[in-house]
Amino acid sequence: MKNAVNHLRTKKKYHLRIPSQTENLEIIREFVTKIARKVGFRDEETGKIELAVDEACTNVIEHAYGQDDRKLIDIEVQIDPDKFIITITDQGKGFDPQKLKTPDMKKYLDEMRVGGLGVFLMKTLMDEIDFEVKGGRRGRKNQVRMVKYFANQRS
């Protein structure tokens, strides 16, 4: 079984381009989850990946695109021998991740707040996370790149 899973961990890319609609979050989760399982992630790690991707795409829908469901979200999953990379790209309103502060969880819970933990969760659930804003002739692109390593997985 281990050799079969390792064989699946050769360099590959998968791509999904989908309208930024809340009802499409389920399709995005299934897309990423099926690939994560295929390459040998256990349920716990797959759940973390799924939640991080869901948070990132929800942020695109709500904040970058302001619920404009005519816009598209690009999700690319790249398999490398040692890591699982998800890159989510949009062409909406960007933000400066350096300005985000780590939330005070005690205060957050005391105030019974809802929302606002997406980036914090993504950073907690994934091994690496990077934000990049690219500008060019074809317009602005915001990207979040999230990485989960295979090293701690037992196939």
Tens of pLDDT, residue by residue over 99-155, are 656 655 455 445 545 455 567 788 989 999 998 887 765 667 899 999 999 975 544
Is the per-residue pLDDT at 25 higher than 90? yes
* Whether the Cβ atoms of residue 97 and residue 119 lie closer than 8 Å to each other: yes
What structural domains does the chain harbor? 2-149 (3.30.565.10)
Burial 10-28 (b: 16+ CB within 10 A, else e): eeeeeebeeebbeebbeeb
**122/110 Cα distance (integer angstroms):** 22
Instruction: Please report which helix (H) or strand (E) contains residue 100, including its range.
Output: none
pLDDT of residue 94: 73
Q: What band does 27 get if pLDDT is binned at 50, 70 and 90?
A: very high
- pTM, to two decimals: 0.81
CA atoms of 98 and 91, how far apart (whole Å): 20
